[in-house]
Structure 1
Amino acid sequence: MNLIAPPLSLYVHMPWCVKKCPYCDFNSHGVKGEPPPYATYVDALLADLDADLRDFGAAAHDRPIHSVFFGGGTPSLFAPELVERFLDGVRERLALPAGTEITLETNPGTVEHGRFDGYLAAGVNRLSFGIQSFDDDKLRRLGRIHSASEAEAAVKSAQDAGYGNINLDLMYALPQQTQEGALADVERAIALAPTHISHYQLTLEPNTAFAANPPPLPDDDHAWAMQEACEQRLAAAGYAQYEVSAYAQPDRRCAHNLNYWRFGDYLGIGAGAHGKVTDVQAGQVLRRWKTRHPKAYLTAPGEAGRIGGDGPVAVDELPFEYMLNALRLIDGVPMADFTERTGLPAERITPALAAARQRGWLTDDPGRLHTTALGQRFLNDVIGGFLD
């Protein structure tokens, strides 16, 4: 296959949180008893990075890092000094250009006053706050450990520390939520003037407490009405939707997530982290994921035991994998990117494209993969059409 290597990002998973939320299906582990071995974990992260660079060889070496994202769990449980130690280690191993977007997820209930200065000094230049709602009753139902006032105070504290690039995560279609309640959350988020807002629907994921004991959620029609109303309010406030759940002020789109959606490459470091690397020489797109449980991950730093699984993406699966990401973008992607990032000719997906266009799900632009408004509403069906 004639592949072209896309940008390479770095995802770093910090697996611990104060308490597991009942809706969460991420690889997160509540802190119980003794504090987690944070410093030891940072050492393991660097050993993991060394081993991935060794294993992927030329497919990963000598490629500048496009963005860094600390996800979790709750990365803000890690002291700024530990984050700085990790980033210094990255700079020793890879090119990390000045100004590279470096995001750290944080929850308002886990940040000590004054820590934002430390994260900024460590090199973190973008914060993502897991707010979810500004309604104390909804926060309680979601199992969050912060209040609405604490959320607002945390964001203002970060701004006072010098952060000018901040994302707020908000959920809608919460238990017994009305459209007025969803809009009220958006209004309070806008009042804080973040540069980016992630606004996504609460869904019941398998193997979560909510799935086992479902709360009363709005039906699909009410959820769709909430989404449309909130989308219009965000647009009026200057937050343009550029992805299914992402809204940004001009020039403030999340570089890291854009790289995912454009089928870019990323090294996944940490317990349960997933990575994707394009091996141009071998003509393969490689996937790798790490052992999920922190204890198992820490037993063999940098050794084979840290790997939960890996291997090339099957050629027949590449169209679906690509569309699963690219079609989330409101403006779509150039058709040429499909061939460059999968190595497959455009003819490979001609029947699926024709079927989607016939249903009014994709525009008729032959040079661009671009969903219509109807296609965005039925996005799962559109993407499913590319399954082999």
Structure 2
Amino acid sequence: MKKEIEMQLTTILNIFKEHARAEYVGVYIESLESGTLSIPEMIFDLNKLIEYCEQNDGWSNEQQEIIQLIEKIRFEVQREDAKLKEEAPVNRFWTAFREWMYTELPSADLLCVQYIEYDNWNGGTYYLSLDFDSLCRMHFGTPYSNQYEDKDHCAFLDIKALIELFYRELIQVQKRYKFTVEVNKMLSRFSMPYELKSGKLIKKGYKTSQKNVPIINFQMLESKIQWSEERILGSNWLDKHTALNYITDALQYLLSLINGISNQELTGKSLKQKSALMATANENSKMYSVLIREVNEIQQIVNEFFDIRHNEYLSVSTKKEREPLKDSMFIEYLYNRIYGLLFFLKGKYLIFQSGNRQQNVVQNDSTPDNESFWDANLPF
């Protein structure tokens, strides 16, 4: 956006320098070209150029371009303000975490001994002993770029990488729970919408009392959910759009599993009917109607309305134009809507499958297949 504003401003100023009367606009052009103006000063000078356009014939196009440019400048200011507000809690958390990392963590009996130095002078002091360049090269595959040197600022993805590295490599295995508790306390104190869970710093997402939902297929489903949860938080529009694609992929995979269920109860039913019947057997209930409509609408949104998972310009089924998604807030809305349906259907699918397995056990008088602890109890 900044580059676009600069290019548009340059184009407008060149037109004024070539065609406008310098005695009226020269001082404003020179001021705008200086690059030293504050935003209010820039808008003031641009308004002076608008006045010139209003008082002279043949300048209506330039007048509209300047008005649009002022709107873009104001939007950019609002965007930067929002970005600063978003970064403020991250920076406060980083300031506190970094201080704790250097002053309290070394003596907290959490780190592996090779990452601690001890100075026996003045009563003895423990120090953090980390070679960040070696750690970055070994675990991230990149040289250290001093991202952890600034006491007051650090990008969130760098913070995330560091905390997960601590959990995985630097903290004693038997002390990981205590480390998790300390980090989560700090996250909560600075109102960060994240939690450290099983060594991963994740967004606090779908609000539910259901815990330890079993893994169905990590590569095809859960890994895509986790990856999308990280990307949807990015400030870049493309990150959010990619997250929407991945959460949609995860939903479509789950729907394919639901559609593949074959038993007497669901035989001959459509996908949306099967999805609803997993939640309620009453086809006359409002819950059934809501789920039928929701699955149908989500499928229309994904396959017909917008450029989600599809590169084709036209919808294959309706031959109508797919609309490109550009609004980040709308992308987040669609993401959370699909995420909510996915989480609900995943839970109901597991309950439904569990019921079928139990029925088969009774009918066949046999024991169920043995599931490992990790297959049965890994979190969602």
Q: Could you say which TM-score interval applies, normalised by the shorter chain?
A: under 0.3
Name the structure with the higher strand share: 1
Name the structure with the higher helix share: 2
State the TM-score, normalizing by the size of structure 2: 0.28
State the TM-score, normalizing by the size of structure 1: 0.27
Where relative contact order (Cα < 8 A, 6+ residues apart) is larger, the structure is 1
